[in-house]
Structure 1
Amino acid sequence: MIFNNRLRDLHSVGCKYTWFNQRIDQPIHIKLDRVLVNEGWINAFSDSYCSYQSPSCSDHCPIILHSGRSIQVKHRFLYKNYWSKIDKYWDLLLEPLYLPCLGNPLSHFCNTLRSLKNSIKSQPWATSSTVSKHIDNLLLRQKELLDSLQSDPYNPNLNHAFKEVNTELANTSSLQASWIIQRAKVNWLKHGEDDLKFLYAKIRTKTGGTKSVANLLACNPQITRAQVVSSIIQYYQDLYNPTPPVSLDLDIFPIGCALPEVFVSSITSAVSDDEIKSAVFSGSSTSAPGPDGFNFHFYKSGWHILGPSVYRAVRSFFIKGYMPNGVKSTALAIIPKHKNAANISDYRPIALCNVLYKIISKVMANRLKPVMCLIVKDNQAGFVKSRVSTDNILLASDILYYAGKRGGANLFCAKLDIKKAFDCVSRQFLLARLLQKGFPSTFVNWIKACVSDVNYSIVLNGALEGYFSSTAGLRQGCPLSPYLFCLIMEACSNLLEGRGFKGISIDNFSLTHLLYADDVLIFGEATIENCQILTSVLRDFANSTGLFINYDKSFVMFPKHYRNHLQICQALSIHTIVDKITYLGIPLSFHRLKIGDYLPLMDSLNRKFNGWKANLLSFAGRLQYLKFTIQNTIAYWIRGSILPKAVYKVYKKLSSRFLFFGDVYSAKKLHMLSWDKICKPKAKGGLGIPSIQALQFAYHCSVIYRMYNGSTPLSSWLLTKYRSPWKPPLVSASKLWKSITKTAAVTKHCFNFIITQNFPVSLKWDHWCHNSTLGDYFDVDSPEIIPDIKLSELISGDSWDFYDKIPQSLHLVFDGIQIVVGSGSCLLWNDSRKIRFKSFIDEFYVDLSDCPWVDMLWHRRHILKHTVFVWLALVGGLKTAAALLSRHIHVPLRCSLCNTHEEFVSHMFFECPFSFDILKAIILGMKIFLFRPSIMQVFDWLTDVFSDKHEVLKAYKVAVCGIIYYIWKERNNRRFGGNHQCRYTVLLSIKRNLFLKFMKWKNHTELLELL
């Protein structure tokens, strides 16, 4: 009821839970007391919020409603992407660039941006309100012309004026839409013409979140705004200026893998124009800008003018190593980590760097990226090319399963939390560590210029507040920071290894810890001596780097049989023992996970499905929301775990209800299509949403592929423990491995082996011998005569070396098999070295028949909002009167458009005179039909007639989809709204929509004549 009435919680601070059942044995904490508001309230009182107070003697928390501090502040300058479509903007851009460059090119370019910014601010078109007012005037003029055309439809002057207004409205609306999308930052929403309400709601939500930090400190009405701002600035000033580390003794840290000599010259070579341009055009056009207000779109759209100046400015930095403080100045956006943030520490600072700085740091990051895999241990999965974060989750899960099953396993697993990791790290240690790892001094000086002497301002209610320096920390918005932080954490890995810390070992495999940036998972032998080693390592690491462990937020767990918990906890200084640990968002445990352990996933899905999103999104918008938001959530869990069937069922039920009804609680509504029909590729007649089974299948294929073609801890563990995915699994094997072997069995024909020198192909179990196993190729009756060894053990250089390792009778088969010398993939997918995840998905659906009309709907120019309804019409998803009657639901059978015939899909499109007249008015060639065509007959005719005119064919395909969409819309308005429009009014609506679409095409002049 709350969501159906479009109510939502008001922004709040204070307690998360407001009611307690006063029971110790079975405590329940929930949020019963809340303040619900609608869209009108948010528009009228945009600064309002509520604060939850302590319950005192009650079991409920009192709520205080605050009006908020509605204080006008000078908002910071933000570049609007639609300015690049205004002619006067380009005149302003050219003016400062004509000035001669005096002094440092980087400083000169900063002055150019400052001058341009001042010029833009003084222009009337610079504000978005001007665009909105112009649209209102155009809509009023359009309505006047449309009313006149009702009585005089063939008046040439009226039609000419109507067309001009439509053209100008299309152009101006695109400016407004560009600004809305830029502010909302909803990158997954495409072609969502009816979803502007969703975007506006998203903007209001983001705005409310940024205001909540000021609300938190303004609960006391006697505190002035200046005091609020001062307290926030002081907090972050203290955060970024911590006490320096106790020591900087690099001698205690083993070097590990140093930078190879061959890369020393390449990372300090002269920067090319292509590197700079690549750094510019790889940035997101809608990303938030830094303090100067200019985003990547500014540079991209004006590159033909700005390019030479940017080249000179960036090259000057790499030549001189000097960066003005204004370039690396950073704005801090304060984002709440969770709802009801109760303290300033519950907010996460996000660094917004200037794009000019990002260009420079991206060039350096792109040079650093290729060498990371050579100098960082393979247990670090974060920000290193070709490493997958969820591999660490799978590995940890399988190790814990193995240790939990072993009765004598003497192991503990600990998750460590590092206090304010990126914000407090020592810059001095970083620079010294880079030199220790073999980086040339020139490159280290570049890094020093980027990370040192950084000044911050806080973004509060759209304004920049304060300006303070910093002595520590890395900015999480800087392209360099993830790589630099990984190098710092690598020092911890080297120290653990150097001190002899003991982890888990099996055969030739050993592992002490897993890392993803600052997420640390430790596997250790549960002895006092081993724990003392870990404690000393963490202490020395903290004293040198400033990265201290927060022991209150760290956890440890043990196998069920282990008894000396307290002694180990005291040695580790970790006093919280748990049954499961959440690592990178996925639960891990020594024990088998229960359905309740997956509640965070189901809660996350419920939160994403519920609320105002469903009410404000169209069918096409909900489809994209499912595809790019919900699917990403479920896919991450699938990559890191094996989901129970109960979770599958919940996901299918919620997804189907959300897509068709926008309400996950609509249990009694009629589903015309099964979810399985939707979860197919478009080429197979679906909507392109892969099913959970397809995703699981594809991720297992990916794991198998990477097992043989990459050297990662996961691949080493699986090959050491299980030998081959084509070896029958033992009963004691983990659920993960059994699932992988099932996938391997059905995809055996897709995987092909190439024999290389050092890759882990199994002699006995893998089908390396002419796409067969050695036993199958020779039809060996006794498989035990083939040794269970790696094929590489029979290779010496580029020839076979058997000795007595295999029977003499099997030697002949090796003569015709070539050994490939050098590195490369040894396992191919359908004989191809290049794979895409989509190819795994396609294999899952390979047995389904192809859809004959896929090219009619899903071409490059399709309008999703229209196309999905054509898809529904073709697959029987529209609730026509005849379709409802076949399901024993009695409704009026007469067509609402002609009131003559029964309402079937085939009648509505296009046997009905109402719909056929509209079709003939837009596609004149339809007049030759003696019998009124069906949808497929229309598409087939268009394909035959316009096969040599591709753009015209696409335009007519778009037009047919638009006609179907608007006819169905008119039908629903007549049946359920009582609103009747004549065919001419519907025709004008269709033409106006097509006009706006065709205007965006390059060859729109020719296409507009079709209308």
Structure 2
Amino acid sequence: LDPVSCVIHEVEKARSKNLVASLLTLDVKGAFDTVLPGRMQRRLRDQGWPLWVIKWVRSFMTNRTARSRLGDARTDEIQLNCGLPQGSPISPILFMLYTEPILHIGDQGMKFSYANDVAILQSGQTLTECIEKLDRQAKILLDWGIQNAVSFDHQKGELQHFTLSSKPKEYPSLLIGNTSLQANQVTRWLGIWLDRKLSFLTHTRNWTAKVTSCVLPVVLYEIEAWWPGDHTLAWRRKKLQELKHRCGKQIQLLSKAIHMSLRTILPIYRSTPLPTLFRDGGLPPTRIIKRAYSIATTRLTKTAHLLPISVDTELVNLDKESPNPPKIYNSTNHDIHVYSDGAILPDGRAGGAFVLFQAERKNPTQSFIIGYKVEPIDTEIIAINYGIQKADQKAAIHFATNIIVFTDNQTAANIVNGKSSPTSWKEVTEIRKSQQD
């Protein structure tokens, strides 16, 4: 992050002189793979490195081989004549030494480099003046790249202007080779979002969103299992009393983790008060977050005592209308056997499948997706209903005396036969109508 800090410092210094600034970022194409061993050694000699360092680098870059592997299959080894190993911690350092002349070529202006990321910063009275300076510097940089076998990816280049004007009169673009770079309102460089006014509002929002989506679910994992709410009911002296929770230590640990995360991502001082911290981060304090969990739990708990046991209030008399089919069937060879099953898929969606047998012949298996937020018992009932409907559509239905359903869920069978409180009332009604027919 040191190059980003230097860029911010130079932009603020230009602002103190009532100047504007423009930043051009470029990406070295290929990066480590394009480093030539001989040119690397020459670069180290020009920089004054000891002979033993140069010899070590030569040994590090030469006599390298590579081959591909897929399972148990391997290709023949090939000799690598150039490049730096991708996984070595010394490779980024050597690459920065290899591209070190970039920082000294061209006219006056600030240049920054980190690994394969290069940036040029220019300031001036107007943004057009900054673009003219950047254009000259970019041409010099591209010419140096051609001479040193270093190519830049024009498509990944980005242009960012820095001005305090709310509505700039000009916002020019820059032509790099055959690529026209349009100026951004916000540019991400080395993990930092730089906006036109350096307000870091976008940077804060993006990282706060990551805290909300990553840190909070991890910190608050299964909190609803142990968090009783601000108050809990307990028996004291043969009376049911409302007592305050005893989870103060747990909440303190959670709050500390959230505070540390916010202080890490926000550009604030260590002494910043907590109210300011939560306001700038756009996150509620822990006590408000846990209150939201307790409200959901309390609402479900209290509602359960107010409602009857039966969930489907529209089918209060449905149990009385059950046809009560006989328990023993005299199956014939032409009867249709329906084997059904329902399940919850790994992505959270509910689905089911069924297969029909008649005269010892198997019909093709059919599967279907129901959707999200479906209980497992409902998937079983829906699968039974779909299987019966498919059996009714068969041309050979006229030869069958019975449609016999086989399911591995006893609860679903009880609901269909009217032996327990009904759920999935639409499908249950259709199944019982088929039973009556």
TM-score range, shorter chain: 0.3 to 0.5
Structure 1 or 2: larger helix share?
1
